[in-house]
A and B are shown apart, each in its own frame.
Chain A
Amino acid sequence: MQRQNKLASFEQAVLPHLDAAYNLARWLTHNDADAEDVVQEAYLRAFRFFGGFHGEDGRAWLLGIVRNTTYTWMQRNRSAQLNMPLDDEVHEVKSADLNPEALLLQKADAQMVRQAVEELPVEFREVLVLRELDEMSYKQIAEVADLPLGTVMSRLARARKRLQQILASHTQTEVLS
């Protein structure tokens, strides 16, 4: 009887966030089949840890597990992608450099954005996906990605600047060709 209760309340609290789980896993793995595997595994893990969930924010809780599962999965299957350390200094972009790109950026369409986001380092990609596609607050992103609030803010700012650069370079080549 107890296990029926656990299963029922788990399905009620966590299953509605399946789309968000899949979206995050798909953006992180770049691949449909991998994303399905990861999400399925993440749901099993979430069910095992469900005792530790106290009903605050089911989506953030689940996405945290999806993210961890994805990272473990990537370590196992393609560690090369994770071995690129995110050096915040290297990705720093001076604001003055951005201004010539201003007009180009306004022409960006969904297809271009998708391509540019795919090119971002995974740490930038995850905060952007959580913010722009799941419309999560900084606090929720901090919970999912296990980061301090201040880091969420600065990482998002850097991710967007980087995205701008990539988009600008794409649109420029388009104009030139």
Chain B
Amino acid sequence: MICQTSQEFIHAYLDGELDLARSLEVEQHIQECQVCASAYRNQTALRSAFKDSSLYHSAPEGLEKRIRSSLRREANTEVGRRPFGWRWLPIGVAVAAVLLMAFVIWRAVPGLRPSGDELLAQEIASNHVRSLQLESHRTDVISSDQHTVKPWFDGKLDFAPPVKDFSSQGFPLIGGRLEYLNNRAVAALIYQRQKHYINLYIWPAGQSNATGEVAAKHQGYNLLHWTNSGMNYWAISDLNGVELQDFARLVQQAQ
């Protein structure tokens, strides 16, 4: 061990913080080196000077008592500060009971809550509006060719939506896109009638029997939905109800 290292380690050696191997090295070096030996003696001398009890400032008389009483005060105010003590429990229970009753009534009385169809109509109206807000939102695949649009859905959905173009009847196919509605991925087809757009949403129905068209109005839009050949259909447009009905009939006849 050289002096430089020894000078570095001599303090840790003195403090008992060196591992055994290093300690032995320092010990050996001190025996061989006068300079380090005197440095070590200095430090031990200094250390024994520190041992004098007059250097240690013990806490004055009475400080412990003062601390104890200030702790007691602190402990008392801490409880007062706590905002949610047991005293609030009855009020909490009462509020919870009222909320629970309100929920039960809301569930039991059908008129008070929107039906599944109403919620879906709302979701579809929002989706329709969003699709018209930006041109890039309107279609994922732009084509009036049903043989382009239909294969585009292949692999993107777990079903094959029927896609037909009705250009000759005045309802040209604009394109298609993927949507997420009613907790599943659905096909959306966009048709045009003069300046009006129609969104036709299609996804598999739980039951295979066909149901007739049901009309609805939401946020000023006309909606029509029906079930046919195991598929749910929802058509929505700002087109008048009669023409939307014509469109729905075209879709149903094509299948």
Q: What residues of chain A have their CB less than 8 Å away from a CB belonging to chain B?
A: 3-4, 6-7, 10-11, 15, 18-19, 21-23, 26-27, 32, 35-36, 39-40, 43-44, 47-48, 95-96, 98-99, 101-102, 105-106, 108-110, 112-114, 117, 131-133, 137-138, 153, 156-157, 160, 163-164, 167
B64 touches A15 (CB 8 A): yes
Chain A interface, DSSP helix/strand/loop, else mixed: helix
Give B115 Cβ to nearest chain A Cβ, in Å.
51
Complex-state Cα separation, A114 to B55, whole angstroms: 7
The 8 A-B pairs with the shortest beta carbon distances in the complex, nearest first, are A110-B52, A22-B59, A26-B57, A132-B50, A106-B45, A102-B38, A157-B11, A23-B57
Residue among A19, A96, A102 making CB contact with B42, cutoff 8 Å: A102
Residue among A4, A6, A133, A164 making CB contact with B46, cutoff 8 Å: A164
Chain A residues in 8 Å Cβ range of B75: 3-4, 6-7, 47
**Tally of chain B residues near chain A (CB < 8 A):** 40
B45 touches A7 (CB 8 A): no
Chain B residues in 8 Å Cβ range of A32: 60
Query: Contacts A6-B75, A40-B63, A44-B70: A113 and B46 contacting too (C-beta < 8 A)?
Result: yes
Q: What residues of chain B have their CB less than 8 Å away from a CB belonging to chain A?
A: 3-4, 7-8, 11-12, 15, 17, 35, 38-39, 41-43, 45-47, 49-50, 52, 54-60, 63-64, 66-68, 70-72, 74-76, 78-79
Residue among A7, A15, A23, A99 making CB contact with B58, cutoff 8 Å: A23
A3 touches B71 (CB 8 A): no
